[in-house]
Structure 1
Amino acid sequence: LEENGVEGSSIYIYGEGWNFGEVANNARGINATQLNIAGTGIGVFNDRLRDAVRGGNPFGDRLEQGLSNGQYVASNGLDPESSSLDDVLLQMDQVRVSLAGNLMTFNFVDRNGNSIDGTQVAYGSDPAAYTLDPQENIIYVDKHDNETLYDNNVYKAPEGTDMDTRVRMQILGLSYTMYAQGVPFFQAGTDMLRSKSMDRNSYNSGDWFNRLDWTYQTNNFGVGLPPAGDNSAEWPTMQPFLADESLQAGEDAITATTMRFQDMLRVRYSTPLFRLRTGEEINARLAFHNTGVDQMPGVIVMSISDVVGEDLDTNYDMIAVVFNGQPDTLEFTADSLAGMAWELHPVLVEGHDDLLATASADGDTGMFTVPAYSAAVFVVPQS
């Protein structure tokens, strides 16, 4: 330290953590892949939440829907095989685990009514959970590889979805990252409805497809078919979308998105309860509602308590986040959250989403009312 001015124990190490190629399955020794990471403190990318929120996966059918763009509750009618009730309920369990730091030790009631831990939720042939500490969980819904979140939703949202709703879907998708336990990761421009005109691998596509317009006049959608490379097989599917001028976001939509994104940033950093430091704290404080066999599809309700253990937040005793992925206003009652003085987070009351500002809670009954395609944060002020 005296010689180099660097304290290694204070450096955060992270990477993608994919299990593939010549080092797959520890072929050349144990390496820092997802399933080896628990307890190391090394952060790796969480594709579980990414796929459940976006729909499908980077190598599958681009029309498969996810929690941010209407799966099951607002089907696009293009991929019925992946739009069953059980499919969306499994995705919701995967997201719950991810919101809870992707902890192997986190317990909750799954879609079948069983009390399980994070390792018992499936993600393909692997367990969904693989961490023991939230800093090992890097949460994201879009990054440099694959389509941007906006382009992803162009493929997957129901036909005729208007721009206002697309803005709501964008912010809803980003809210799963913003309000999760772990390390949030956002692609540059995702708060500006960034488009690469559906380019799924733009590392060598130049400024034409990678452009960011800081004046907010355009999100760069519809500037042409992306380079052949990894895109030509999808050109016939892309063409009608790219020719549709109604999908080109303008200043009003871009400004609304970036301001609402900033509201969410303020909410996250208004309380340490969104940034719990250990797996033990998450297990003790975080809970889910709307679980089990009779749950409402597309709706995730999470609470974080400050009335157990150390007083971490001098402002709030409890926080609840209601993620409403349904196309209509939601009314949801959680008996376990009744009898508390719930109110909408003050940042959202004074924020840049007039519709979200109408979200409300009945503290006596524990009923929450939340607009379509919205994530509302409610708080119980500390007495």
Structure 2
Amino acid sequence: MQNVKKPIQLEAYLDTFSKVTLVIHADDIGESSFFVKDDTKVYPLLKLAEERGDGRLLLHMYVQEELPLGKDYFIVGSHGETYPLNTGAIVRTEEFDKRFAYDGADLGAVYTPEWTQFKVWAPTATNLRLKVWESPGAVKEYPMERGIRGEWHIKLPGDFHLKEYCYIVRVNHQTNEAVDPYAKAVTANGRRGVVMNLAKTDPENWKRAHRLPSISKTDSIIYEVHVRDFSIHPESGIQSKGKFLGFTEGGTTGPNGTVTGLDYLTSLGITHVELLPVNDFGSVDELGKYPNYNWGYDPVHYNAPEGSYSTDPIDPACRIKELKQLILALHERGLRVIFDVVYNHTYIREASSFEKIVPGYYFRYDRGGNPINGTGVGNDTASERAMMRKFMIDSVKYWATEYKVDGFRFDLMGIHDIETMNLIQKELSNINPSIFLLGEGWNMNTLLDENKKAKIDLAKKLPGISFFNDRFRDTVKGNVFTTSREGWIDGNPSQTIDLKECMTGNCNSLFLDPGQSINYIECHDNHTLWDRLSIIHPHEEEQIRRRRQRLGMAFVLLSQGVPFIHAGQEFFRTKFGDPNSYQSGDTVNRLDWMRKAHYENDVHFFRKLIQLRKNHAAFRIRFSEQIKKHVSFLENEQDGVIAYWIRSVQSIDSWKEIIVLFNQTLEERTVKLPGETKWIIAVEGDRINEAGLYKLDEPRITVSPLSFTIVFLPS
């Protein structure tokens, strides 16, 4: 009986334009030869090297002439068996970007009433068709033409407004149906892209609405809020609960007549509202009768709004118009809007349009071809590659122009590279000179050179971008990753030296200027400060914990840099001990307007403290040289007291000298003040009066336990 050779299990990848790797699941295959073929030609394969291990044989081979992309290739073995040759590491080479990177500004669906042009970048695809739902039940496919940079395009005559579409992509011997990554509108749950006449989504007065006046970063006060959290409470007094439109309603009140919603935001004195992700994300069913909850850090479509925040997710224009209405309502109240954007990963890599259209390109892989997971969600996007970089730049420019967004907060910005972030800053500054860019500069464990990461330690290489200052956060309230590490407001004196550096904008160490320092002690991540204080000081009376929190908020608002406030922080927001509430639901996450009503006096104090900061430029110095000249600390022998001294500032402030005294102890502390001049008290206990509460009889002051006091000399 004749022996039949059993076919070997083999995977083949094109790693450069002339190199191929064969992954053979066997220890040995004897004498074998291989060649590459397409529909017209044969390319002999020559061996460069081989590797053995883990029951696999890796053959590194090459052809003597380049294999042009855009064709289906097969590996043929000694006995005529064939295996598909897929694109491998070739898409991650510099040569690939050099040959195929496309710099046109017309990717996606470009609409006019007379025609619509569709264009998608897919250099490794062997065939690409446009699929259009021209009417209910009528679907038509159009072959697209390939351009020299791997861009596929077609222009169709007629008015395609509201037509649904997607791309049918033949790549790596498979056919994928993919939504346009540049889609500006999508159907419910992002199943398809939608051609949109964006002019029809503009709310009334949108065209006449001008940008708000430019302000410096240190003049800014950022307030972070989640769209659903803002209005979903049953006693918010807001009709469009959990929706974009919840931000547009004026005159709303809650328990005991407490002001809520848009009027409340306006009353605070903040300058920027930062919204957690509002682009289309994957974890919430937009058609669910009772939608599940998520913060939205799982992006699917980066240029289309999230449908669960609209009043009609089935209507693709509705979410666009209502998000614009939100922005317009805030702008009309003098409030700027920052979007929290998540370009560092996608919801599910394998299901993403990126991966379906150009497999292996948009993400980072290790040297073994496995996806990198620095984000902790299974994939890291590769901002250093030309077309991922272009996508990020195109996307933020679109939001800044079409939606008039005033700033962007970059989630896990340490995943991205410095060059990309600086290019984003340059491009956006051309659109809006006062655009506010900030991000999480954590040093992420991703496959990117340490000197190229957009991380906080390299902030001086990113002069136009601000960073969440974790040094400030952790010195004030303690390390967020453990409740055993107490902060200064908990009575930890070892944090004093570091805290003084943070109060001066970290300009002697981390940053070029104080505008790069986002000063915060609470955000959507980790425990709220109130919950943390409850854990660290479980037996303290509530009044004591409230004083600790107020002390922490005073550091945020009076230090040099940019204050950042988590919504509800001013009325001691609690998430009932939940340290990571990204999917914990409304009961845990909603803004509790009843709690706001209960702590109305604390909110009033917070509001007056914001106004004090805004009235006195000494607390918002723009340049590090001025800080070094004007800001110092009193030398005193009182343990547990920081005396923050801003001197000779009459050129920029109505006060000549200012001293802010912070007492971290549970006892009174008496401090001798400089000179013999009679200082005036502006803030003491629960009272704030910028004209002066009273004048000291001698240059000495007693600071109450767990409190801060402000004294000044007039100009």
TM norm structure 2: 0.38
Residue 96 in structure 1 maps to residue 500 in structure 2: yes
Residue 33 in structure 1 maps to residue 412 in structure 2: no
Following TM superposition, by how much is the alpha carbon of 1:378 offset from its aligned partner in structure 2, in angstroms? 1.2
Q: Which has the higher contact order (CA 8 A, sep 6+)?
A: 1
Measure, in 2, the Cα distance between the counterparts of 1:209 and 1:136: 32
After superposition, residues 80-91 of structure 1 pair within 5 angstroms as 88-89=493-494, 91=495
Following TM superposition, by how much is the alpha carbon of 1:319 offset from its aligned partner in structure 2, in angstroms? 0.9
Helix, strand or coil at the partner of 1:68: helix
Following TM superposition, by how much is the alpha carbon of 1:288 offset from its aligned partner in structure 2, in angstroms? 0.7
The aligned counterpart of 2:515 is: 135
Distance 1:370 1:360, change over 3 A: farther
The aligned counterpart of 1:78 is: none
Given candidates 467, 471, 475, the residue that maps to 1:52 is 475
After superposition, residues 85-234 of structure 1 pair within 5 angstroms as 88-89=493-494, 91-104=495-508, 129-157=509-537, 159-216=538-595
User: Structure 2 unaligned runs (5+)?
Assistant: 1-396, 405-429
Residue 271 in structure 1 maps to residue 616 in structure 2: yes
Partner amino acid for 2:511?
T
Measure, in 2, the Cα distance between the counterparts of 1:175 and 1:149: 14
Measure, in 1, the Cα distance between the counterparts of 2:586 and 2:628: 45
Measure, in 1, the Cα distance between the counterparts of 2:695 and 2:662: 14
The aligned counterpart of 1:17 is: 441
- Kindly name which structure, 1 or 2, has the bigger radius of gyration based on alpha carbons: 2
Partner amino acid for 2:620?
R
Residue 43 in structure 1 maps to residue 466 in structure 2: yes
Residue 367 in structure 1 maps to residue 670 in structure 2: no
2:680·2:693 contact (CA, 8 Å) conserved in 1?
A: no
Following TM superposition, by how much is the alpha carbon of 1:32 offset from its aligned partner in structure 2, in angstroms? 1.8
Residue 67 in structure 1 maps to residue 477 in structure 2: no
1:341·1:381 contact (CA, 8 Å) conserved in 2?
A: no
Partner amino acid for 1:321?
V
Measure, in 1, the Cα distance between the counterparts of 2:507 and 2:487: 22
After superposition, residues 311-326 of structure 1 pair within 5 angstroms as 311-313=651-653, 315-326=654-665
Partner amino acid for 2:515?
Q
CA deviation profile, 1:218-247 (whole Å, cap 9, x unmatched): xxxxxxxxxxxxxxxxxxxxxxxxxxxxxx
After superposition, residues 275-294 of structure 1 pair within 5 angstroms as 275-290=620-635
Residue 381 in structure 1 maps to residue 714 in structure 2: yes
Helix, strand or coil at the partner of 2:488: coil
Which structure carries more strand by proportion? 2
Distance 1:284 1:256, change over 3 A: same
CA deviation profile, 1:125-184 (whole Å, cap 9, x unmatched): xxxx30120111110001111000100100112x53112112111100111111110101
1:147·1:201 contact (CA, 8 Å) conserved in 2?
A: yes
CA deviation profile, 1:54-93 (whole Å, cap 9, x unmatched): 12x1222x1432211233xxxxxxxxxxxxxxxx23x111
Measure, in 2, the Cα distance between the counterparts of 1:46 and 1:148: 17
Which structure carries more helix by proportion? 1
Distance 1:297 1:20, change over 3 A: farther
Partner amino acid for 1:374?
S
Helix, strand or coil at the partner of 1:376: strand
Measure, in 2, the Cα distance between the counterparts of 1:139 and 1:14: 12
Partner amino acid for 1:211?
R
Aligned length: 285
Following TM superposition, by how much is the alpha carbon of 1:306 offset from its aligned partner in structure 2, in angstroms? 3.0
2:527·2:580 contact (CA, 8 Å) conserved in 1?
A: yes
Q: Please list every run of at least 4 consecutive aligned residues from structure 1 whose deviation after the TM superposition is greater than 3 angstroms.
A: 3-9, 351-354, 358-364
Measure, in 2, the Cα distance between the counterparts of 1:170 and 1:162: 13
Measure, in 2, the Cα distance between the counterparts of 1:274 and 1:284: 14
Partner amino acid for 1:189?
G
Measure, in 1, the Cα distance between the counterparts of 2:589 and 2:693: 36
Following TM superposition, by how much is the alpha carbon of 1:361 offset from its aligned partner in structure 2, in angstroms? 7.0
1:18·1:33 contact (CA, 8 Å) conserved in 2?
A: yes
The aligned counterpart of 2:102 is: none
2:638·2:669 contact (CA, 8 Å) conserved in 1?
A: no
Distance 1:363 1:97, change over 3 A: farther
Partner amino acid for 2:443?
N
2:522·2:566 contact (CA, 8 Å) conserved in 1?
A: yes
The aligned counterpart of 2:638 is: 296
Partner amino acid for 1:139?
N
CA deviation profile, 1:186-205 (whole Å, cap 9, x unmatched): 11100010000111111111
Helix, strand or coil at the partner of 2:543: helix
| Bigger Cα displacement from structure 2, 28-37 vs 91-100 | 28-37
Distance 1:299 1:215, change over 3 A: same
Measure, in 1, the Cα distance between the counterparts of 2:693 and 2:662: 12
Measure, in 2, the Cα distance between the counterparts of 1:259 and 1:167: 14
Measure, in 2, the Cα distance between the counterparts of 1:278 and 1:65: 31
Following TM superposition, by how much is the alpha carbon of 1:297 offset from its aligned partner in structure 2, in angstroms? 3.2
Helix, strand or coil at the partner of 2:701: strand
| Bigger Cα displacement from structure 2, 261-270 vs 200-209 | 261-270
Measure, in 2, the Cα distance between the counterparts of 1:303 and 1:367: 15
Measure, in 1, the Cα distance between the counterparts of 2:642 and 2:477: 15
Measure, in 1, the Cα distance between the counterparts of 2:702 and 2:505: 26
Measure, in 1, the Cα distance between the counterparts of 2:694 and 2:708: 12
Following TM superposition, by how much is the alpha carbon of 1:211 offset from its aligned partner in structure 2, in angstroms? 2.0
Measure, in 2, the Cα distance between the counterparts of 1:338 and 1:35: 40
User: Structure 1 unaligned runs (5+)?
Assistant: 72-87, 105-128, 218-250
Distance 1:10 1:359, change over 3 A: closer
1:324·1:373 contact (CA, 8 Å) conserved in 2?
A: yes
Partner amino acid for 1:195?
T
2:638·2:670 contact (CA, 8 Å) conserved in 1?
A: no
Measure, in 2, the Cα distance between the counterparts of 1:93 and 1:136: 20
Following TM superposition, by how much is the alpha carbon of 1:353 offset from its aligned partner in structure 2, in angstroms? 4.4
TM norm structure 1: 0.69
The aligned counterpart of 2:431 is: 7
The aligned counterpart of 1:339 is: 676
The aligned counterpart of 1:107 is: none
Identity of aligned residues (%): 30
